[in-house]
Structure 1
Amino acid sequence: MLPLASSSSITLLGAGLMGRLLAVALARQGHRVQVFEAGGPDAEGAAARVAAAMLAPLAESAVTEPGVVRMGQHALARWPQLLAGLPAPVFFQQEGTLIVWHRQDAPEAARLRGLLERTQAVVPTLPHLQALDAAGLAQAEPTLAQRFGQGLLLPGEGQLDNRQLLAALVLAMQQEGVQVHWHTARDTGDFTPGASGQPDWVIDCRGLGARAQWPALRGVRGEVVRIHAPEVTLSRPTRLVHPRYPIYIAPKENHLFVIGATEIESDDLSPASVRSALELLSAAYAVHSGFAEGRIVEIATQCRPTLPDNLPAIRLAAPRVMEINGLYRHGFMIAPAMLDVALELLNTGQSLLAPQFDLAIHHANASQACPA
């Protein structure tokens, strides 16, 4: 592919996480950027608004491939750089991930530990997990010491506040002169990039909104509870091993906790089921009794855009048309890596990072993916 010329005109479709990151980055490179978004600046229709925004490559390796794990490593280094350039503060934490389990779930915990150790053998640059006995757990999270006798600490993993980030990116787009058309849905077929009066490039970041162009996309439903719990003092993201509903609890600022677990193969965006809400809340209470006196701020549902292999992809769908999709449940963990690969492709016509992430660059009319 031919690289971008200086001061190119670029149209972005979708202002979720990837669309906002790309809009800011391209505008800062001197390009003229406009964005079309079906929703509003609050990202009410985006999976990124509902996410817990955990940056946990080793923890997530239990359900994904080494390439995605390497993307997560890349992101842990890149997020502080990206956040430092924003016009508003965004909560970011890198205190590791804690994994705990009840006695009856010890076999499931042993299985999980084996998966994580195998990942560390494949990706040796990951920090090694630390097995915690009762004393170690009490030192890491004192409030959990009475309920759990052991755990695993995954050093170096992190999280950020997704809604603060999305809002800060809106401010950055305004600051950089990006023209944003909120509540204005557009399709790649609405543009003829490269023609007179048309943008030089179109980049489609619409997630599930792009299914007409990328039929393999499917939605994977997630359900998340936000609780304000002043009595809970967890200092880092905590995961509970459970054979039926392994949950995560991500503590944000001011005793706000994001709790989730459910993963349902469905495009259904109706409110959360009673069963899911009960399971999430009871599992959270099993981790910390202080949640009993918390207040439910929100119970939200959203569908993550997912491809058949559950891996992200970049596709060159037509001349001067790039599509970025399939971030699945790993959006915040891999977005900086996807951003940097996309920028390499646009700026140089190739990507040196993509092979490190096992990320192939697809061509819509080709039978196989082409290496970057």
Structure 2
Amino acid sequence: MSLQAELPFRCAAVLGAGLMGRLLALTLAQAGSEVDLFEAGGPEAEGAAARVAAAMLAPLAESAVAPPAVVRMGHYALDRWPALIAPLAAPVFFQREGTLVLWHRQDAAEAARLQRVLAHTGELVPELPAMRMLDAAGIEAAEPSLGRRFAQGLLLPDEGQLDNRALLTALLATLQALPKVRLHWHSPRTVDDFAPGEPGQPERVIDCRGLGAKPQWNALRGVRGEVIRVHAPEVTLRRPTRLVHPRYPLYIAPKPDHLFVIGATEIESDDMSPASVRSTLELLSAAYAVHSGFAEARIVEIATQCRPTLPDNLPAVRQLRPKVMQINGLYRHGFMIAPAILDVAMELLATDRSALAGRFGLATRLE
């Protein structure tokens, strides 16, 4: 089915203005629907998991913790992001320079285990570009600022990243400019507030509230993450870099103007309290071990957020009842898989069927 298929309805309500809600509201409007977007918070997405994210688009790298279905969604999304970004009202940083994976000598056994996992993923998802082994000279050629600090590494070609906050801002500006879109800030709504199809009601309701939907989706849980944003003028990295470690595998995602997002922690908790001293020290120490220029970096922000997660750690698109759709459970892969989930949802909204859902292993999750 074409993603350009005509929608069988003229107006829709979208609940939640995080990443998924904004993408869906915009795509519905572009397809000709009037859209009311309801958000419990304000336009800055301060309560959204998408605001506290590194926005790495790394399907092979994430296969260390993600099944092939998620990897396929991530690979699909890499080619979709440029088309989604192109019509936005403001520019968004996006690049596909690959992912660099490094390790210290004492973690060579953990690195070997990771290589086996990535190689197995390559067998299961052969459309992925193959990883490349790098020696010290290869690492230096890929990231000159690292010199020959590391003896071995991996380059995962064509993986990418984008600027999450610039994207949220650009989506907002684009939605604000569309006459078919009405934005309702500080206006929490649940699916029970609507009777879709009744007079004066939207014809469809799509719930994208993440953890805000927990009262209607009891299986949802929060998985806590902590990230640090630093400004490091002495550090130059061309691509996201991951450091193999048996306890806290670190990532460093470079953004424009020498801003870096550093993270690693994943805690089974819906605790939203500030980051601990221990995890902050571990993150910063590991970053310094990758590049000594981080010693003089300035900490811009230390943030925590909980990702909406279902028991199997997989995303779900489900029909709660006729004309009411729920999208949730994107877990730690929100930016990586959002375009795939978006296109599945649009196929379902247009025809009640989705070839992509079957391709991504989502068919059994439609209820």
TM tier, smaller? over 0.9
Match of 1:185 in 2: 188
Q: 1:183 to 1:150 in 2, by over 3 A?
A: same
- For 2:72, the aligned partner's letter is R
Say if 2:355 is the partner of 1:352: yes
CA distance in 1, matches of 2:66, 2:94: 24
Structure 1: gaps spanning 5 or more residues: 365-372
The runs of at least 4 consecutive aligned structure 1 residues that moved more than 4 Å come to 3-7
- For 2:17, the aligned partner's letter is A
Say if 2:356 is the partner of 1:343: no
* Structure 1 residues 123-160: Cα deviation after superposition (integer angstroms, max 9, x where no partner): 00100000001111110011223321110000000000
The alignment partner of 2:168 has SS state of helix
- For 2:188, the aligned partner's letter is A
Match of 2:245 in 1: 242
Match of 1:59 in 2: 61
Superposition pairs of residues 155-170 of structure 1, within 5 angstroms: 155-170=157-172
* Structure 1 residues 238-258: Cα deviation after superposition (integer angstroms, max 9, x where no partner): 000011111000000000000
* Aligned pairs, number: 362
Match of 1:367 in 2: none
CA distance in 2, matches of 1:19, 1:351: 19
CA distance in 1, matches of 2:8, 2:234: 54
Match of 2:73 in 1: 71
Q: 2:331 aligns with which of 328, 331, 338?
A: 328
Contact 1:229 / 1:255 at 8 angstroms: preserved in 2?
A: yes
Q: 1:273 aligns with which of 271, 276, 280?
A: 276
- For 1:254, the aligned partner's letter is D
Q: TM-score, normalised by structure 1?
A: 0.96
Match of 1:100 in 2: 102
* Structure 1 residues 208-240: Cα deviation after superposition (integer angstroms, max 9, x where no partner): 000011000000000000000000011100000
Superposition pairs of residues 59-208 of structure 1, within 5 angstroms: 59-177=61-179, 178-208=181-211
The alignment partner of 2:158 has SS state of coil
Match of 2:292 in 1: 289
Match of 2:24 in 1: 22
Say if 2:337 is the partner of 1:308: no
CA distance in 2, matches of 1:160, 1:4: 30
- For 2:264, the aligned partner's letter is A
The alignment partner of 2:289 has SS state of helix
The alignment partner of 2:73 has SS state of helix
- For 2:336, the aligned partner's letter is M
- For 1:171, the aligned partner's letter is A
Q: Percent identity?
A: 71
How far off is 1:348 after superposition?
1.4
Contact 1:229 / 1:294 at 8 angstroms: preserved in 2?
A: yes
Q: TM-score, normalised by structure 2?
A: 0.97
Contact 2:6 / 2:31 at 8 angstroms: preserved in 1?
A: no
CA distance in 2, matches of 1:78, 1:109: 31
* Structure 1 residues 54-85: Cα deviation after superposition (integer angstroms, max 9, x where no partner): 00000001101101101001110000011111
CA distance in 1, matches of 2:220, 2:128: 31
The alignment partner of 1:210 has SS state of helix
